[in-house]
Structure 1
């Protein structure tokens, strides 16, 4: 586990949105400030954990983008962003996603049948985003080689595995209790 990531999580602010206690962190939110040292540390750990013999890395808009960019630059693997708006490109695949605090459509472009891909995202909590990404990639005919989320918060890993059969790797597991982040693993 990353001491830098762990320490930054322990000190991040918590806000309540409805019944959801949301932790605000540079990796998951891009605020208050994304330090290059933290991004470098996280992306280096990601590279050590994933299958790099792939054609593309896939992430969802928005906070997977900085991590995917750093990993892409370090590995020379191109990436695809599932966007929250449609572009009406030929072959675009829309998919519905629901998380602990939002729901909406994601749109997949740039994946061809047979592409070997890894999925990389910032946080898994309910698993809603990952299930949507996996479903879209299956519809596109992609070969999913690895799924990794930086921060595991909740039961999302189990939900994704039950709904899709894919195991989700994570760097750190947390819980939010009494207004603070506790590191579990």
Structure 2
């Protein structure tokens, strides 16, 4: 994870109303995402994840490029949980609450009994991931594994659940930069 670690130390930190916000190619799409970094992350996810699954699931938006590259590498189909409804048969809405917003997302192409790997760029408050896991459980799917690239230190909506999340790196962010917690 050498390139990933380097990228964190090079990433800008901006102030958003008193909140130290990490601007990173994997979680924001800027600065430019170099293929070497994406490749290293996909190799890391491949090594960390249970790949004996039927489908890879990624929430829109910034987990999509990671999950797409993983799908291409593993030949496991990809399902994106979308931020808008398409009105398809069997579409399942979910409500998510994060530390900074509330919104709806929509699940398609997941059926009872599907074994799933959820992949995302960042776990911060855990609100999005908790809502996704609850909705997938309600469908009757089996969540085999959850892997994120970055997990911010601190409380998470997943803390009091049975869901385990594997991260490639645990981090904290403040105005002075990013700290990696090994």
The TM-score with structure 2 as length reference comes to 0.95
The offset of 1:99, in angstroms, is: 2.0
Q: What is the root-mean-square deviation in Å for CA atoms of aligned residues? A: 1.3
Count, aligned residues: 182
Is the 1:20–1:100 Cα contact (8 Å) retained in structure 2? no
In the aligned structure 1, how far is the partner of 2:159 from the partner of 2:166?
Answer: 11
> What's the offset of the Cα at 1:22?
1.4
SS of equivalent to 2:61: coil
3-state DSSP of counterpart to 2:158: helix
Match of 1:155 in 2: 154
Deviations 1:161-185 (A, max 9, x none): 41x3111000001111234111112
Which residue matches 1:184?
181
Q: Distance in 2 between matches of 1:77 and 1:150?
A: 19
State whether residues 150 and 172 of structure 1, in contact with CA within 8 Å, keep that contact through their aligned partners in structure 2: yes
Aligned counterpart, 2:41: 42
Q: 1:167 aligns with which of 164, 169, 175?
A: 164
1:87 aligns with 2:86: yes
Q: Which runs of 5 or more residues in structure 1 are unaligned?
A: none
Q: CA deviation at 1:136?
A: 1.3
Structure with greater helix share of residues: 1
Q: Structure 1 length normalisation: TM-score? A: 0.94
Counterpart contact for 2:150–2:170, Cα < 8 Å: yes
Aligned to 2:101: 102
Contact 2:98 2:127 in 1 (8 A): yes
SS for the counterpart of 1:159 is coil
